[in-house]
Amino acid sequence: MTAGTAGAAHTQRIREFKMPDVGEGLTEAEILKWYVKAGDTVADGQVVCEVETAKAAVELPIPYDGVVHALHFDEGTTVDVGTVIIAVDTDPGAGPVGEAPGEAAAPAEEDDAEPQGRQAVLVGYGAAPSSTKRRARKQRPGVPAQSEPVTAGLQAELNGHSAPAPAATPVAVPVAPAAPAAVVPAAERPLAKPPVRKLAKDLGIDLATVVPTGPGGVVTRDDVYAAAAPAEAAVPAAPEVAVPTAVAPVAAFDAARERRVPVKGVRKATAQAMVASAFTAPHVTEFITVDVTRTMKLVQELKQDPDLAGLRVNPLLLVAKAFLVAIKRHPEVNAAWDEATQEIVYKDYVNLGIAAATPRGLLVPNIKDAGAKTLPQLATELGELVATAREGKTSPAAMSGGTVTITNVGVFGVDTGTPILNPGESAILAVGAIKLQPWVHKGKVKPRHVTTLALSFDHRLIDGELGSKLLADIAAILERPKRLITWG
């Protein structure tokens, strides 16, 4: 068997499975748990590990039959999308796996072990086809092909840097005099991940001037910081525009009695989203205290209704319905601000988010087209949504596309709060604890079930009058729930 034939056979035998792209703009995931180990037999479609992205925890099935050859990462490791995480020997009966000729010197090319027409999928949704490798450039007629070192050297010179040292066997290619950066073709656009591009934009660094040190010529965060350091030294930033490149660590008073937990996954994504929302959308919060005694009586009656048998009926269900009816009366509140086009996007559907506390952090899945659902349908989806979130099985798709949200802080005994908007949403309603309180009812002070509602909204979309009318209508419905019929 020739060396080429042996290498091809080895490539066909060992199938490598990469961390898939879930199609939600995520670039990495943490391996939470391996369900298999080296030497275990696996079958096509078998779940081999659980990973946590910035949005949810999902299980990954393997698309091959065979025996696990190697696990490339330990549990708790964060891996970039497109990186090989597990290798499977698809022909274990052929004897021990040997290293293919030239394998150690040449890294694996694109994962052509994937069956034709098939893509690795996460449980519950498909994976977007993607590749982390750079696409081959088209050769122009009459121009000789350049080796990678020569191309890198030419690009470095065009960017104003000295060319890297030539390889052991240089390729003689005539190089034209350096041209201005403006004539660099579009194909020479620097390679960098979206977070790195944002960092460069925030620091005012042109990626075309940054020397890449990452694999395959990818610009890394350290490259951007290195490019920013000389500029900061040469041109001191004005006091009011100071952008720190590093945050001072928290001082320790007694390190022996302190714990440090890395911020990652859902909690990290939530923190970033809340900071972005708080300092992007101008928040306004209004409050109203309301007598919900009639609503509480209706909840008890609905629990006995045969049409709702087996469904989860609670005050949150009627609060959600009241919110949806109030939005129907004031549809202008259901909108989004498009900063890129400077437009307000009004939406004729309501995707109602429900904030759920989970062991991995706060999740806000939403009920799609909630405004079009009947009360039994709303009760069914609300129960499934909360249960799935608490199990940590919520898919990224279930948490995207929300328009408004409800957060029930009353379950913790809290009277109310000033909730922060989910990015891209127009309003969020906080429901406080429902308590028996002295209340004037029909001219007499009586114990009544009372709660306080707080509505935060984006003041770019909703002015004070509109926000006040929305909150007042929610309270009016909860005070007299028969308005669900007359207003709905």
Phi, psi angles (nearest 5°) of residue 52: -120, 120
C-alpha dihedral sign at 185, 187, 191, 195: positive
Q: How far is CA 114 from CA 22, 184, 460, in A?
A: 17, 36, 48
d(CA 67, CA 39): 6
What is the bridge-based pairing of β-strands 47-52 and 361-363? unpaired
- For the record, the structure tokens of 94 come out as 């052929």
- Catalytic one of 283, 330, 441, 459: 459
Q: Where are the beta strands (DSSP E) in 19-148?
A: 28-34, 41-42, 47-52, 57-61, 66-71, 78-80, 84-89
Closest to 403 (Cα-Cα) out of 344, 453, 361, 359: 344
Contacts of 356 (CB under 8 A, 6+ apart): 362, 363, 364, 365, 385, 386, 389, 390
What is the C-alpha separation between 398 and 22, in angstroms, rounded? 13
Count CA atoms closer than 13 A to 412's CA, side-chain side: 10
DSSP letter for 122, please.
B
Helix (H) or strand (E) holding 363: strand 361-363
DSSP 414-451: -----PPPPTT-SEEEEE---EEEEEEETTEEEEEEEE
3-state secondary structure of 484: helix
Residue 144 Cα distances to 140, 152, 171, 185, angstroms: 8, 15, 11, 17
Nearest to 455 by CA among 484, 479, 432, 424: 432
What tokens appear for 236 in the block? 């001191």
Whole-angstrom distance between the N-terminal and C-terminal Cα of the chain?
77
Among all chains, which residue has been given the structure tokens 């010197």? 105
159 vs 377: CA distance, rounded Å: 60
The residue type of 16 is E
Whether 72 is a known active-site residue: answer no
The two structure tokens encoding residue 77: 């490791």
Partner residues linked to 406 by β-bridges? 354, 429
Dihedral, CA of residue 392, residue 396, residue 400 and residue 404, to nearest 10: 0
Angle among Cα 412, 271, 267 to the nearest 5 degrees reads 70
Catalytic residues: 459
